[in-house]
Amino acid sequence: MAEILTASEADIVRAGTLLREGDLVAVPTETVYGLAANAFCEASVRRIFSAKGRPFIDPLIVHVHSLAQAETLADISHPFVKKLAEAFLPGPLTLILPKKECVPAIVTAGEPTVAVRMPAHPLMRRVLLSAGVPLAAPSANPFGYVSPTTAQHVQDSLGERISWILDGGACACGVESTIVLVADKPRLLRPGVITREDLERVLGVPVEAEKGHLEKIADGEKSSDSAQLAPGMLKKHYSPRVPVRLFENGALPEIPEKAAIVFQTRPRGELARRYAGHAQVFWLSENGAQEEVARSVFALLRRLDNAAFSSIFIEKSPEKGIGVAVNDRLSRAAAK
Ligand code: AMP
Ligand code: MG
């Protein structure tokens, strides 16, 4: 079991010291819980990969407290950086930028770019200040499993492998950060609660979606030393052990007897009557608000994964706004 740290000043100072000196600490952010290490310390970063069982070809996001700290790691001179920072930072947005030499290759999987994020969570910001070094932090879960949105989730799946978890309550966004490749033609590499429309409004240019790093490797569009990869490992992600099946928004599929069914919205009227008394009916939100759906999706997947259902049937989000990010995570959870 990992020891739980709190928001007290003494615990924040302790977390900062542990991190600076090379230990791993699981930390809350507004997206999901991260497993943090001093980004400048190769040996510590290596421990992140081994605790998660994460392949070294999957680069990490580096968390910073300020743009000034970002500049120690990356070239932030592209005019889009300023625009995005003014509109969204600190917040759930990761920028892919040209890296500086001080960033160890293990952090970026050998890429010439580095993923930089300035989180908004007040505890994470205090930890960053206390540590005084940038923190490399992927989600605090075993590679491929459902991301953690509470300290208990981290304890459940990594508690035997790490020593420290800082408890900052439930995460406000619930899905990982939006990732943008900063370039004259910017690209959306991962959808999140900051949407493509939000980015286009601020940048004033189209932001096309592009496959993420692992997907390019899985599709053979990028080379890598993939000796450590099992088939299907890269496309399947955020996955419970129990099989996940998706159905279209508004559809009503036949559900096998031992399956759980998850609606976007609490069933009402005809739907509620149809499912009255079914212990296996769940929903992601009261009224379909996609902020709430995003916030609850991983927690519900974890809960249902521990509840002896034969499979989990989930209604997709409408494919717009934040729903795009939710559907992205759902389709990876359902990938075989
Ligand atoms: P996470 O697993 O949530 O920490 O997110 C890490 C993801 O960020 C990786 O799986 C990549 O998709 C993306 N990423 C990190 N660094 C880079 C990079 N230098 N270039 C492209 N994508 C990156
Ligand atoms: Mg992750």
The pLDDT of residue 152: 98
> CA separation (Å) from 168 to 82, 224, 232?
29, 36, 34
Class of the 244-334 domain?
alpha beta
Going from N- to C-terminal start, the domains of the chain cover: 3-218, 244-334
Cα-to-centroid distance, 296 and ligand 2 (Å): 16
The residue with tokens 């509470």 is 150
Instruction: Name the token pair of 196.
Output: 């493509």
Q: What is the pTM of this model?
A: 0.96
Gap between the Cα atoms of 235 and 240, Å rounded:
14
The pLDDT of residue 252: 82
> CA separation (Å) from 53 to 3, 40, 158, 180?
21, 21, 11, 25
Helix (H) or strand (E) holding 83: helix 79-88
The tens place of each residue's pLDDT in the chain, 336 residues long, gives: 999 999 999 999 999 999 999 999 999 999 999 999 999 999 999 999 999 999 999 999 999 999 999 999 999 999 999 999 999 999 999 999 999 999 999 999 999 999 999 999 999 999 999 999 999 999 999 999 999 999 999 999 999 999 999 999 999 999 999 999 999 999 999 999 999 999 999 999 999 999 998 888 888 888 776 555 666 667 788 899 999 999 999 988 787 888 999 999 999 988 888 877 777 999 999 999 999 999 999 999 999 999 989 999 999 999 999 999 999 999 999 998
Ligand 1 site residues (CB inside 6 A) read 58-61, 96, 108, 111, 113-115, 138-139, 176, 179, 189, 212-214
For residue 177, the Cα-to-chain-centroid distance in whole angstroms is 6
The pLDDT of residue 224: 72
List the residue whose alpha carbon is closest to atom 10 of ligand 1. 58
Helix (H, G, I), strand (E, B) or coil at 277: coil
Cα-to-centroid distance, 225 and ligand 1 (Å): 17
Which of 149, 177, 189 for a ligand 1 pocket mutation test, highest count of atoms within 8 Å of Cβ?
Answer: 189
> Which CATH number is 3-218's, of 3.40.1180.10, 3.30.750.24, 3.90.870.10, 3.40.50.720?
3.90.870.10
Return the exposure string of 41-73: e unless at least 16 CB atoms fall within 10 Å of the residue's CB, then b: beebbebbbebbebbebbbbbbbbbeeebbbeb
Instruction: Name the token pair of 234.
Output: 């890269």
